[in-house]
Amino acid sequence: MGARATETTRELESTSIKYQIGGHAEKMWQRLKGILRCLVKQLEKGDINVVDLKKNIEYAASVLEAVYIDETRKLLDTEDELSDIQSDSVPLEVRDWLASTFTREMGIVKRRPEEKPKFRSIVHAVQAGIFVERMYRRTSSMVGLAYPAEVIVTFKIPVPNLISFAEALEVGYSKYKNPYHNLIHAADVTQTVHYIMIHTGIMHWLTELEILAMIFAAAVHDYEHTGTTNNFHIQTRSDVAILYNDRSVLENHHVSAAYRLMQEEEMNILANLTKDDWRELRSLVIEMVLSTDMSGHFQQIKTMRHTLQQTEGVDKAKAMSLILHAADISHPAKSWELHYRWTMALMEEFFRQGDKEAALGLQFSPLCDRKSTLVAQSQIGFIDFIVEPTFSLLTDSMEKIVMPLIEEASKSESPAFGTPSQNSLGAVSNAEAQRRPSFKSTSDGGTHTENSLATVDLTSFKDNLMKIIQANKERWKELAVEEELVKNVGEQEKDQSRNSTDAQLQEETTRIQNESSQGSDGTTCPPRSIVLQVVSFDTPLSDESNSEKCTNSDPNQKDLTDAQQETQNTDPLNGEPKHCKKSEDSVKATEKEALIQN
């Protein structure tokens, strides 16, 4: 009998090792089942001694562990997603950038130097483009800042603290004068998060504390961004890279520095939260902001996809992180005019990093060489591999979460569904409501029927987004044809074609500038919302005298701290610009006032 048990042990040993190496989880499960059944039989017959039994159980445990490791590894493995990127239809430079930016494996797609494109691309067009620099209206205008009374009352946020904090945020976002990662981006992402929460109905699933965490995380998520990437920080061994051990360097800084602000009493907007709420909010904010590190993108998508396939509910922090991540890369899901401008702003920021890299004798990071970067091609790759899958996952997740709420609400005719009733369906479970006694169990409190679950139309939300994303991709494809031409022609022809590409992009830039500044009545005006300083890149960005102050007193023009209020009236993911009346005569060719619809 001992011999048979030892036989089982040996079999187990070789099996577990083989499976650890080969990772055939399915076979491993079958084998494990067989072995355990065999042990049970031996036990029933009394055909085994205790020592062998112990050994066999230990081996069974090790096989189980091997299966677990194998399964976990599969979940952590982002190779599946990356294999698509290897496709020859994606230019090498773009593949290189996707792999190095959106995974933790730096340079997973090795650059073959001989294939590196060696042409000068669209520098002039970029230089002539419209770029986001800073908002005009200083925060003094925030005296009249109108937050919905309920928000202030619910969280008891001291208004003077809120103003000081928002002012400090604006200063921090303006510190490095970034074309892209500036206070407009913060306002844009904050408003987009707000939009997603309302239009998907997810707000009915979240508690008020969680909604506050979402808005707060969006507002601070790029605070004091240096305009350079995590990898640049790591390569240059910057102070923050050293401080955060090369892990999510910028993201750690954003959230840490924002919390540091609130250590000052007059900026502490969370002063009235209970200890538990403060801790819970902090934990959510940290998780959300850290999840905006793009190197975790594929992992985040994979984990969330996996969650959706399970029968259990969706983890709140994970769902909230996905919303913030989606909002952070949402400009391709907005009108072409906006998307184009954001893209060019980001490219200029990348190119400035490239300039720094050149000055430091470092290799160019992907997309950072202003002389050879394939802008249109990179955008197609970005949309195909990053944006579309993210928004598709976002809408699938929202469906899984919100559909049951809608069904339940329609049955009980709860306030969340638009008909006030005693029998309200809380977006939050009773247990959760009890856990946070200082918050009402639903975010709408039964008063805001305009944002009720009854008005949620997830299908249109999804269709609309996907349509815009597709349309934008088509525009890039048109521009990519020219880009490709330039890449392939000879040196002399290259110059001519480059002029043509540049001219085409220049034309696009001018067209967008004109569209942005022409009212439907023919008067020159910005569309609406946030006033941007648009400057040529030759213009010293720090020089206040170069900034034509916007004299337009249109109350629709808001700055970062007003942005949330805008959300009630605007549709950032759908954005047809509305027009205002005021004409702007003092606009110069290289220094214009523009508005970004937000």
Asked if residue 343 binds ligand AMP (CB under 6 A), the reply is: yes
Q: Which residues, listed in sequence order, are joined to residue 592 by a DSSP beta bridge?
A: 534
Asked if residue 293 binds Zn ion (CB under 5 A), the reply is: no
Please choose, out of 374-382, 435-443, 466-474, 561-569, the segment that lies near ligand AMP by the rule CB under 6 A.
374-382
Task: For the CB of residue 244, give the shortest distance to Zn ion in the complex, in Å.
Answer: 17
H-only helix segments in 415-457: 430-435
Centre a 10 Å sphere on the Cβ of residue 309 and count the other Cβ atoms it contains.
7
Closest among 267, 278, 172 to 220, alpha carbons compared: 172
Task: For the CB of residue 498, give the shortest distance to Zn ion in the complex, in Å.
Answer: 31
* C-alpha span between 144 and 418 (Å, rounded): 31
**Among positions 222, 388, 483, 559, the unique one binding Zn ion when judged by CB under 5 A:** 222
- Tokens encoding 290: 């850290």
Please, which of residues 158-217 interact with ligand AMP by CB under 6 A? Answer: 181
CA distances from 419 to 118, 407, 414, 426, 455 (A): 63, 14, 6, 13, 12
Shorter beta-carbon distance to ligand AMP: residue 378 or 497: 378
Active-site residue flag, 225: no
- By a kind-dependent CB cut-off of 5 to 8 A, residue 130 interacts, out of ligand AMP, Zn ion, none, with none
Please choose, out of 26-34, 131-139, 266-274, 378-386, the segment that lies near ligand AMP by the rule CB under 6 A.
378-386
* C-alpha span between 109 and 130 (Å, rounded): 33
Asked if residue 328 binds ligand AMP (CB under 6 A), the reply is: yes
Closest among 214, 196, 466 to 332, alpha carbons compared: 466
By CB under 6 A, the count of residues binding ligand AMP is 12
Shorter beta-carbon distance to Zn ion: residue 90 or 285: 285
Maximum distance among all Cα pairs of the chain, rounded to whole angstroms: 99
Task: For the CB of residue 188, give the shortest distance to Zn ion in the complex, in Å.
Answer: 9
Which backbone phi and psi does 518 adopt, to 5 degrees?
-105, 120
Please choose, out of 375-383, 422-430, 435-443, 575-583, the segment that lies near ligand AMP by the rule CB under 6 A.
375-383
Q: In 489-502, which positions are buried (b, 16+ CB within 10 angstroms) versus exposed (e)?
A: eeeeebeebbeebb
DSSP state of 384: I
Please choose, out of 117-125, 320-328, 410-418, 563-571, the segment that lies near Zn ion by the rule CB under 5 A.
320-328
SS3 531: strand
Catalytic residue among 24, 124, 181, 339: 181
- By a kind-dependent CB cut-off of 5 to 8 A, residue 343 interacts, out of ligand AMP, Zn ion, none, with ligand AMP
Per-residue DSSP letters for 90-126? Answer: S-HHHHHHHHHHHSSSTT-S---GGGS-----SHHHH
Shorter beta-carbon distance to ligand AMP: residue 181 or 370: 181
**Among positions 222, 483, 562, 566, the unique one binding ligand AMP when judged by CB under 6 A:** 222
Which backbone phi and psi does 554 adopt, to 5 degrees?
-55, 120
In the block, residue with structure tokens 């004091």:
224
Shorter beta-carbon distance to Zn ion: residue 222 or 287: 222
Please, which of residues 290-309 interact with ligand AMP by CB under 6 A? Answer: 292, 294
Asked if residue 346 binds ligand AMP (CB under 6 A), the reply is: yes
Centre a 10 Å sphere on the Cβ of residue 80 and count the other Cβ atoms it contains.
10
In the block, residue with structure tokens 């039994």:
53
Shorter beta-carbon distance to Zn ion: residue 125 or 346: 346
Please, which of residues 323-352 interact with Zn ion by CB under 5 A? Answer: 328
Shorter beta-carbon distance to Zn ion: residue 222 or 224: 222
Please, which of residues 120-149 interact with ligand AMP by CB under 6 A? Answer: none
Interaction site with Zn ion (CB under 5 A): 222, 328
Q: Which residues bind ligand AMP (CB under 6 A)?
A: 101, 181, 222, 292, 294, 328-329, 343, 346, 378-379, 382
| Residues catalogued as catalytic | 181
